[in-house]
Structure 1
């Protein structure tokens, strides 16, 4: 049974969009997993930094699943949502999609990850996360 078509999440904006370049490839011609991991870390830090209202540092990668390879020319979109806020930590879920084949566009989910960040002060010392600001 063929997989159903995947679409970019319509109800959310990506926190990061990027196109990998030839320098990002491994010898097999796919984008290095480490390149994707670094971009996921950046994408996850965006909402964590906003919620912490300041600097954050990655303290753990709770899960990371590669589902499909990424190629040069793919437009890679990173969606990040906070799933838990503790006293000084913020856990973020990141989903990654690749848009490929511009002549006949296809979207595939390439990666899922959950990372935890800790709020730190200007000296890199752990600090409390301030109360959430009412909208």
Structure 2
């Protein structure tokens, strides 16, 4: 369920990264590029997945991505990650992005997507995740 369906949405998961949208990341209308935002989401997800894998991971899929609102230059973006499923070598995370308008301090959900990562060794081959206690 998307957070816009709730009356008072709140971020889900753990805060993994914060960044301010700068002019170089925007189009001619002053809104940030969607591709740049996806790359930042991948960085936040990789940070969480690599902790779980205790090492290197690779992104293998991005599922169910929806942009809910445009993001203006200067917005302070917060990236939250939540573990959805851990398999033998894969990790599925929900990554949410929230922004805070620097002038009004109003918070809103920008987007979310499910990212799938796999643990890989030094040669780029998939390997099992460490045993979790």
Structure 2 length-normalised TM: 0.88
Aligned with 2:115: secondary structure?
strand
Aligned to 1:114: 114
Sort the Cα spacing of 1:13 and 1:128 in 2 relative to 1 into closer, same or farther, 3 A: closer
Count matched residues.
Answer: 128
Q: Which 4+ stretches in 1 moved above 2 angstroms?
A: 3-7
Unaligned stretches of 5+ in structure 1? none
Unaligned stretches of 5+ in structure 2? 1-5
RMSD: 1.8
Is 1:105 aligned to 2:91, yes or no?
A: no
Shift of 1:35: 0.6
Note the alpha carbon deviations across 1:27-74, whole angstroms, 9 max, x for none: 222100001000011111111111111000000001211001111111
1:62 & 1:54 partners in 2: Cα distance?
A: 23
1:14 & 1:86 partners in 2: Cα distance?
A: 23
1:65 & 1:35 partners in 2: Cα distance?
A: 14
